[in-house]
Amino acid sequence: MNNNDDNTAILLTSIIVAASSLALPFILPIVFSLVGQLILRDEGLAMIGALLGFSLGIAGTVMSIQWSMRYYRKNSNKDR
């Protein structure tokens, strides 16, 4: 593989990681609120869990996008 093919593979890896993390703000609140409602039987904890899950999902998405950008920049400029 030449350098251009390597850069394309690195770019696709970065995009897949960043795109897959976009679901975190939607999945984590559902999971945390279900734990609060079904297991702990407390609606207040379910609401707090949903807010915590949303904020953790946003933070995880931002960190994943930053990692993807850093990974792409670091690996796409290497001379092979």
Output the pLDDT for position 19: 78
Give the whole-angstrom CA distance, residue 42 versus residue 59.
26
Work out the pLDDT band at 78, boundaries 50, 70, 90: low
Residues 37, 43 contacting (CB under 8 angstroms): yes
Residue 73 pLDDT more than 70? yes
Q: What is the pLDDT of residues 16-26, one digit of tens each?
A: 877 777 787 88
Q: Where are the domains of the chain?
A: 3-76
Q: Which residue has the tokens 């679901």?
A: 23
Work out the pLDDT band at 79, boundaries 50, 70, 90: low
Task: Give the DSSP letter string of 19-51.
Answer: HHGGGHHHHHHHHHHHIIIIIS--HHHHHHHHH
Which residue from 69, 31, 75 is spatially nearest to 53, judged by alpha carbons?
Answer: 31
pLDDT average, residue stretch 24-49: 81
Q: Which residue has the tokens 């390597």?
A: 6
